[in-house]
Structure 1
Amino acid sequence: MSFAMPAAAQDLAVVGARVYPAPDAAPIDDATVLIRDGRIIAVGPRKGVKVPRGTQVVDGRGASVTAGFWNSHVHLIAPPFHRPDDQPAEALTGALRDRFTRWGFTTLFDIASLPGDVRALRQRVERGDVVGPQLLTVDMPFFPERGTPIYVRELWAQTKSPSGEVATVEQARSRAAAQIEAGADGVKLFTGAIVGPPQGVLPMSKEIAHAIVEEAHAHGKPAFAHPTDQAGLNVAVDSGVDVLAHTAPDAGEWSPALVARLKAANVALVPTLTLFDSELRREGAPEAVVQRFIGAVTQQTGAMSRGGGQILFGTDAGYIEVYDTHLEYRLMSAAGLDWRQILVSLTTAPAQRFGQGAQRGRVAEGLAGDLVVLRSDPQASTDAFADVRMTVRDGRVIYDAATAPPQR
């Protein structure tokens, strides 16, 4: 299979697998999923689904099949994603495959990148000269005045990108509207921006945060927030954001009362647990410090889960150079999430949260042909979610372990 071919839908059948139609549904053993023109037209026991001649057949014996996975926190910033119109199609296809679709992702939500990059990449994917997942983006993030985070200042200077800082309510509303009208699928606010000493964390003003969120909601788009600490968390919730892009280790333990507040405000959480492990180890932090931070973020994630708050899967991949998803699943398990709850975070929850619940997130007739074929059963181990044999988006195989180049 050539991954440089246009990403047209195919007639495809996965035959003989254990199919998980949805996290709350019973699995179907020895099942067939039949896709035509990018849509699922049948799913059920193999003996009850006839596969027409000419259909590409995938032998699913011994495998498990779920709906396509969503990664609700990535950054498509690292090469070759900057200025994608200047990049060869093969390089972009390969990067999307090696970093994302090999882990089962059929949809990525980029929640902060350089202006226009992901919109341009999306156009190439939708035209078909680049093969990849569905791409959603918030485009450029919103920083507080004098609050460009310390860890992106060099990138902003090198790329000569316009400032992401907003100083007034009028500026905030205007830029939010402009980005959405240009094709952004939401907004991202740094309600707690890490600016370095002596300030440490700079909160965004509630008035500016509220203006950005209100403008996004007026256009029917979600708002993400990077909270960092308790002050940033308060600004995020008070301004009406929809999704916390991270846990907030500097905010201390999350109490049932706080989780109830988040749930009442319909705020979802993307834990990004791997981020904290990766960054602390990269900085050479002592193991005791790593474990203290991991303990804090898993506590917050577990509290959110136990309190009935919505959790979305996300890794912050692209900011951190960790694309392998094994650790995220293990840390989510350590936080107390079982395999069904993890599958919810990968499928039905993001599809519902981002307005695509009627089209994606389940394996059902009439829905988009987004599938992940796993080599093993997630009921036995959540590691199975990272053991991807094949990824299918809209009926097109966008990753096949049997034909993909070996990983470097």
Structure 2
Amino acid sequence: MQAIRPTLRALAGIALICLTAPAAAQDLAIVGARVYPSPEEAPIDDATVLIHDGRIAAVGPRRTVKVPRGVRIVDGKGASVTTGFWNSHVHLIEPPFHQPDTVPAAALTDALRERFTRWGFTTLFDIASLPGDVRALRARVAHGEVTGPQLLTVDMPFYPEHGTPIYVRELWAQTKAPSAEVATVEAARSRATTQIEAGADGVKLFTGAIVGKPQGVLPMREDIARAVVDAAHAHGKPAFAHPTDQAGLEVAIDSGVDVLAHTAPEAGEWSPAFVARLKAEDIALVPTLTLFDVELRRENVPETVVQRFVGSAQQQVKAMAAGGGQILFGTDAGYIHVYDTHQEYRLMAAAGMDWSQILASLTTAPAQRFKQATQRGRLAKGLAGDLVVLDTDPQHAPDAFADVRMTVRDGVVLYDAGTPAD
């Protein structure tokens, strides 16, 4: 019996390797589609995009791109093709993403597909989750056990002292996670450094934390906020801020953050001068317009209040876009249970953003902001084989960006509407 055990272990190891082998990158060609290489370039009609060995091998009119034998051909007639989308504000915090090491790989793959990649996302930026969860999930994706998008994370957020937001207190208690509050400059700097050195891709500060009555919103001390931001910047990483109101905006700006994770309807109208200030500080904005609509309706507030609040957020987006500020697409999905992106695109369009600005928020802007512009964000030879096939043309309707037929990351098909899920 002793002699058999190594053999059984070896067989078990071989079986495990077979079960966890990475999803293979495919050589594939999307043929006959309208292709949008980037928001700044003219679309190419009746075009072909060829992916070889996980990268873009060619993009151009069909007559100019030779498709080798053996390549999977996808009929693009009537479709539009863009590079893969980024969602720059999600939370991978709910099952099955909590403690992902304990979850079957198939369940994680299915959840990523149904919640994110079926909407075209090839990169997700998780901007606050429970300690270590997204890094563990990312490792399983990298090892090929789980098929999914590129995952970036800030890991655990930073709350002001006595400022754990009212809406996450139950979660923190249930999971017995360590407190995310920081009370001193040294503690803030130390934890930010520790998280980044452990693999976090940035930091997230609640410069305005919603703590409930009687205070309402608790601002973070500026010196603590600056310590977190400085620690991130020392490692070349971005800092996100949840501002909520004008006081939170001021702390965010003065501490040097890079991205406002939400608009701030409670702060009122943004003037051209305020947008110019954001632009001068190189601060980007994630609108998350659907969030406000969903949350207010959940609270059963009057329709006039919903419209006024969402309208205030849309005014800030309009001012930001008109002033040339950078806008990044994000949904806050995972906190809200809305994964369908149709409404967000409609609200962005109603705020005055045209199709090319929305496409930039999904592609070139985040690739530039998060230092991946040499690898992602456009359809160009040599860049990563990330693409989205849309059923219709986004120039005709802004929510066409949500009508996804296929999502591909690094040559791996993450979602295919024509193939039933396993």
Could you state the TM-score of these two structures normalised by the residue count of structure 1? 0.98
1:48 CA displacement: 1.0
Matched, 1:156 2:161: no
Q: 2:357 aligns with which of 328, 334, 341?
A: 341
Q: Is the contact made by 1:8 and 1:128 (CA closer than 8 Å) also made in structure 2?
A: no
1:57 CA displacement: 1.1
Q: 1:215 aligns with which of 226, 231, 245?
A: 231
Identify the residue that residue 255 of structure 1 maps to in structure 2. 271
Q: Secondary structure at the match of 1:151?
A: helix
Q: Is the contact made by 1:4 and 1:93 (CA closer than 8 Å) also made in structure 2?
A: no
1:199 CA displacement: 0.8
> Where does 1:195-234 land on structure 2 (aligned, <5 Å)?
195-234=211-250
Q: 1:147 aligns with which of 136, 144, 163?
A: 163
Q: Secondary structure at the match of 2:352?
A: coil
Identify the residue that residue 26 of structure 1 maps to in structure 2. 42
Q: 1:84 aligns with which of 74, 77, 100?
A: 100
1:129 CA displacement: 1.1
Q: Is the contact made by 1:63 and 1:376 (CA closer than 8 Å) also made in structure 2?
A: yes
Q: Is the contact made by 1:28 and 1:44 (CA closer than 8 Å) also made in structure 2?
A: yes
Question: What residue ranges of structure 1 are gaps of 5+ in the alignment?
Answer: none
- Provide the aligned length of Structure 1 versus Structure 2: 404
Identify the residue that residue 359 of structure 1 maps to in structure 2. 375
| Partner Cα separation in structure 2 for residue 91 and residue 111 of structure 1 | 22
Identify the residue that residue 96 of structure 1 maps to in structure 2. 112
| Partner Cα separation in structure 1 for residue 58 and residue 379 of structure 2 | 9
Identify the residue that residue 138 of structure 2 maps to in structure 1. 122
1:6 CA displacement: 2.3
1:287 CA displacement: 0.7
1:59-109 deviations in Å (ceiling 9; x for gaps): 111100001000000000111000001001111001000000000000000
Q: 1:390 aligns with which of 396, 406, 422?
A: 406
Q: Secondary structure at the match of 2:166?
A: coil
> Where does 1:53-64 land on structure 2 (aligned, <5 Å)?
53-64=69-80
| Partner Cα separation in structure 1 for residue 282 and residue 236 of structure 2 | 15
| Partner Cα separation in structure 1 for residue 92 and residue 301 of structure 2 | 27
Identify the residue that residue 14 of structure 1 maps to in structure 2. 30
1:5 CA displacement: 6.4
Q: Secondary structure at the match of 1:147?
A: coil
| Partner Cα separation in structure 1 for residue 72 and residue 185 of structure 2 | 54
| Partner Cα separation in structure 2 for residue 4 and residue 365 of structure 1 | 30
| Partner Cα separation in structure 2 for residue 390 and residue 27 of structure 1 | 19
Which amino acid is 1:245 matched to?
A
1:4 CA displacement: 8.1
1:130-186 deviations in Å (ceiling 9; x for gaps): 111000000000000000000000000000000000000000000000000000000
1:326-376 deviations in Å (ceiling 9; x for gaps): 000000001000000000000000000000001000000010000000000
Identify the residue that residue 3 of structure 2 maps to in structure 1. none
Identify the residue that residue 283 of structure 1 maps to in structure 2. 299
| Partner Cα separation in structure 2 for residue 45 and residue 342 of structure 1 | 25
1:404 CA displacement: 3.5
Identify the residue that residue 324 of structure 1 maps to in structure 2. 340
| Partner Cα separation in structure 2 for residue 8 and residue 165 of structure 1 | 42
- Tell which structure's C-alpha radius of gyration is larger: 2
| Partner Cα separation in structure 2 for residue 213 and residue 8 of structure 1 | 39
Identify the residue that residue 10 of structure 2 maps to in structure 1. none
| Partner Cα separation in structure 2 for residue 154 and residue 4 of structure 1 | 35
Q: Is the contact made by 1:391 and 1:400 (CA closer than 8 Å) also made in structure 2?
A: yes
1:53 CA displacement: 1.1
Identify the residue that residue 292 of structure 1 maps to in structure 2. 308
Identify the residue that residue 68 of structure 1 maps to in structure 2. 84
Q: Secondary structure at the match of 1:96?
A: helix
Tell me how large the CA RMSD over aligned residues is.
Answer: 1.1
Alignment identity in percent?
Answer: 79
Misfit runs of 4+, over 6 Å: none
Which amino acid is 1:155 matched to?
L
Q: Secondary structure at the match of 2:167?
A: coil
1:41 CA displacement: 1.0
1:288-342 deviations in Å (ceiling 9; x for gaps): 1110111110001101111110000000000000000000000000100000000
Q: Is the contact made by 1:4 and 1:131 (CA closer than 8 Å) also made in structure 2?
A: no
